[in-house]
Amino acid sequence: MPTKMTVDTFTALKSERKIVCLTAYSAPMASILDSHCDLLLVGDSVAMVLYGMDSTQGADIPMMIRHAQAVMRGTKQALVVVDLPAGSYETSPEQALTTATQIMQESGADAIKLEGGASLKPHIKLLVENGIPVMGHIGLLPQKASSASMYRITGKTADEAALLHADMIALVNVGVFGIVMEGIIEPVAKDIAVACSVPTIGIGASTACDGQILVTDDMVGLFDKFIPTFVRQFGQLNPAITESVSAYRAAVIDGSFPGNEHLFWPKSEK
């Protein structure tokens, strides 16, 4: 039986090797990714990737629970982390605790992730005190951008760099077990990653990060509405699926599918 990744074994990877992370929203995809990934993120990017929304802000608690449950069914060894959706935790630490508790209890996930820096110290502190493992997320915060055009790389000025460093320190001090660093200019991201005592996971950040994460549908060339600069397509599923569907259409129209071998026959006619 494969060994299940825990928060402790995940954090221990910081001193061992690079950490491999991807998003997952369904049981079949989670099953495919599970043996290759240390962490699977049930990201609020599901709102864009699967539901066709313009931003991640359309994700809600029932959506995240539903997809987290699916991913848990397909996972045996990766650590499963779930995004708290926009609007479900920012108001108060108590709101964050209520949301995180509901998602953890109803999905069985291993941890949650939320977006933001030092302003969320009280929220994260309360979650950790109640036994909920928390992953942080600093830099570019998709939940704050209403459209792709509003995504902006951070850390370009001395003030932004200082704020990012302060955010990292604040999150570590209140007990996050890891931090996603998104869309941070390379020299600044490198400095933060090197200084951080918990694993840093980059997405459009530095190679100095302890690991990397991408949206799986971007990485395999399935979601092509837009391709962020930080994405490398390791596959081309979109044209492969298009070719398959085109062949299926042709076979249905010309009558070559279904064939006799795809039908059910009385035993006497076999």
* DSSP-H helix ranges across 60-151: 61-73, 93-107, 121-129
Residue type, 86: A
Amino acid identity of residue 202, one-letter, is G
> Which residue type sits at 243?
E
CB-based contact 137:115 (threshold 8 Å): yes
Q: Is 208 left (phi over 0), alpha (psi -120 to 50) or beta?
A: alpha
The answer to whether 201 and 179 are in contact (CB under 8 A) is yes
182 in catalytic set:
yes
- Closest-CA residue to 177 (of 11, 23, 21, 42): 11
Which one of the listed residues 129, 182, 186, 261 is annotated catalytic? Answer: 182
Binding site members: 44-45, 83, 113, 115
- The span from the CA of 38 to the CA of 32, in Å, is 13
Annotated active-site positions, please? 182
